[in-house]
Amino acid sequence: MLFSSIEFIFFYLPITLGLYFVLSRWSHKWGIAWMAAASICFYGWWKAGYLVLLGASILMNYFVGESILDRKAAGSQRQAKRILTLGVGLNLALLLYYKYTNFLVGAANSLLGAHLPNPPIELPLGISFFTFTQTAYLVDCYARQVHRYGLLNYVLFVSYFPYLIAGPILHHNEMMPQFNTRKRHYFNVMDLGVGLTLFAMGLFKKVVVADNIAYMANLAFKESAGKELIPLYMAWKGSLAYTLQLYFDFSGYSDMALGLSRMVGIKLPVNFHSPYKARSAVDFWQRWHRTLSRFIRDYLYIPLGGSRKGAVRKYVNLGVSMFLAGVWHGAGWTFIVWGLMHAAYLMVNHLWRDLKKLLGFGPRVGGGLGDIVANALSCLVTFLAVNFAWVMFRAESLQSGATVLRSMLDLGKWRDYAQLNAMDIREMAVLGLLLAAVFILPNTQQVLRRYSPGIGLYRGERHFLLRGLVWKPTLGWALVAAVLLTASVLTVFTSFKSLEFLYFQF
C-alpha cells in the first residue's frame, strides 16, 4: 500500500487516525497499541509473509538491547560487548542475505567462473531502514544512552508506518519520548492542518511532477543500452529528468511522511532540505537524506576515527564511508561507482577546505556581488557533479551509465540540437521550469517553519520569498492544500502506471 494509493488515502488513513484518537482518549497505552497494530498491518499489506521477518527482527533487537542494558548495569562490560557484537552481526547477516546474496553470487560466477545457483531473492520492503534503526539502538544501549520505555513503545518505534518503508532513519531519543507523552495523543486541529498541508504538497510532488517526467529518463537510459553514444540532447534531457524525478519523488515522500506523523502530533526528523541548492559536496550531504548522513557519521565515520587520526586517515575514512553508502543503496556495480564518485567529491571538498585553512583564507563575510557570483558558481558546480553521479545511480549497468556520461560530454555534437522537434522543446522547457522552481522557491519546511514541521530544521539559509510564502491556518492556505490534494487524487485515478517510490527498493 502506497501513500499515494486510493486505498491508503480514503480507507487506511482515516480509519487509522479516527480509531487512534478515540482509543487514546480512553487510554494512552491503547492508542499506542492501536498505532503499532495499524503500522504492522500497513507493512503486511505488501506481503503478509514478511511480517514474520519484521516481528522476529523487532523481538530479537529488543531483547538483545535489554540484555546489553542489564549487563552494563551489572558492570559486565565484556559480556555486554559480546551481546552487542551478536546483535549487530545478526542484523547485518539479515541485510546481507536479502540484499546482497544475489549480487555476491553473481559476481563470483562472473569473475571466478563459478557456477553457483543464484535464485532471485525478493527484497523485503524497508529492510535497510528498520535494520539500521535497530542497529543504532543496540549501539546506543551499549553506550548507555537509552531509556527503557517497554516493548510496546519499541514495537511502535520500529514499525511506525510513516517512516517504515523509505525512512527517515529514526533515532530512539527523538521518537520514543514522543510516543510516551500523553499530551501527544490528543486530537489537535493545528497538528492536523500542518500535517494535511505537508501531505498534500508531498503527494502533488510525487504523482503530478515526479511520475510525469519519469518517461524522459526511461527513454534515454533505455536508448543507451548496448550503444557507444546517444544524441547529446537526449543524454542531457534524460539525466536532468532523472535528477528532477528523484528530487521530487524523495522530497514528496519526505513531506508525506512528515505530514502523516504530524497529523497525530508526532514530529519526524527532517530528512530533505533543498539539496540542489548545496554549495559543496559536504553541504549536499547535510541536505540530502540527512538521517542517513547522520547514521554514517555517528556509527561509521566517527568510530573509524573521523578526522582525529591525521589527514590520510580522514580521507580513507571518507572513502570507506561513502563506499558503504553506495552499497547501502543497492547491490550493484553502479551503486558502488556512485558511492565512490561522492567519496571523491567529498575528498576534494575537504582538501580544498584544508588548503584554504593552510593558506590563511578564512570564511568570507559580506554579501557583495563577488560573493553572490561565487555562491552561484559553487552551486552550479555542485549540481553538475551530483547530476553526473545520478547517471550511474540510475543506469541498469556500467556500460549504460558510461554511454550516457560519454554522450553528455560529447560537446562536439552540439549540432544535434538542430534536430529537436516540438516535443523535445516542450520537454526541455518543462525541465527548465522545474529546475527554476527547485533553485528559486522555498521548500515546504521553510514555508511551514513557524509551525515546526519536523525535528532538526536546516539552519543554513534564509529565503527571500519567505515573507510572502509563509503558511498560516487561513482559508487561502486551506484552498491551496485542497487544490493540490484534488489534482493529485485525480491524477492517481486517471493514471494507468504502476506507482512506486524510488527509495522503496533500498
Q: What is the pLDDT of residues 247-281, one digit of tens each?
A: 999 999 999 999 999 999 999 999 999 999 999 99
Contact yes or no for 170/132 (Cβ under 8 A):
no
Give residue for cell 563459478. Answer: 114
Give the C-alpha separation, 459 to 438, whole Å. Answer: 18
Give the C-alpha separation, 107 to 327, whole Å. Answer: 14
For 15, 38, 51, 99, 356, the CA distances from 8, given in Å and listed in that order, are 10, 12, 19, 27, 52
For range 311-318, the mean pLDDT:
87
For range 62-75, the mean pLDDT:
94
pLDDT at residue 183, rounded to an integer? 64
Give the C-alpha separation, 457 to 274, whole Å. Answer: 12
Please state, for a pLDDT cut of 70, what percent of the chain lies above it: 92
Contact yes or no for 371/270 (Cβ under 8 A):
no
Q: Is 273 a catalytic residue?
A: no
The CA angle 159-202-48, to the nearest 5 degrees, is 30
The shares of helix, strand and coil residues in the chain, as percent rounded to the nearest 5, are 75, 0, 25
Mean pLDDT, all residues of the chain:
89
Helix, coil or strand: residue 269? strand
Contact yes or no for 161/151 (Cβ under 8 A):
no
For 324, 342, 408, the CA distances from 276, given in Å and listed in that order, are 22, 14, 19
pLDDT at residue 499, rounded to an integer? 62
The x, y and z cell numbers of residue 324, run together, are 558503504
pLDDT at residue 501, rounded to an integer? 72
Query: Phi, psi (5° rounding) for residue 356?
Result: -65, -40
Q: Which of 46-55, 90-99, 350-359, 436-445 has the least mean pLDDT?
A: 350-359
Q: Tell me the CB-side half-sphere exposure of residue 403, using CA atoms within 13 A.
A: 21
For range 296-311, the mean pLDDT:
86
The alpha carbon dihedral of 493, 495, 501, 505 has a sign of positive
pLDDT at residue 353, rounded to an integer? 85
For range 231-244, the mean pLDDT:
94
Give the C-alpha separation, 267 to 258, whole Å. Answer: 7
The CA angle 375-379-385, to the nearest 5 degrees, is 145
Most trustworthy range by pLDDT among 88-102, 111-125, 352-366: 88-102
**Does the reported pTM lie above 0.85?**
yes
Q: Which of 25-39, 43-57, 116-130, 450-464 has the least mean pLDDT?
A: 450-464
Give the C-alpha separation, 199 to 208, whole Å. Answer: 14
Identify the active-site residue in 28, 172, 329, 342: 329
pLDDT at residue 341, rounded to an integer? 95
Give the C-alpha separation, 44 to 379, whole Å. Answer: 42
pLDDT at residue 378, rounded to an integer? 94
Q: Which amino acid is at 68?
A: I
Q: Tell me the CB-side half-sphere exposure of residue 101, using CA atoms within 13 A.
A: 14
Q: Which amino acid is at 362?
A: G
Give the C-alpha separation, 315 to 310, whole Å. Answer: 9
Give residue for cell 514478511. Answer: 50
Give the C-alpha separation, 297 to 283, whole Å. Answer: 14
The x, y and z cell numbers of residue 3, run together, are 501513500
* Residues whose CB falls within 8 Å of the CB of residue 211, separated by 6 or more in sequence, listed in order: 249, 491, 495, 497, 499
367 pLDDT tier (thresholds 50, 70, 90): low
Contact yes or no for 217/242 (Cβ under 8 A):
yes
Give the C-alpha separation, 124 to 51, whole Å. Answer: 10
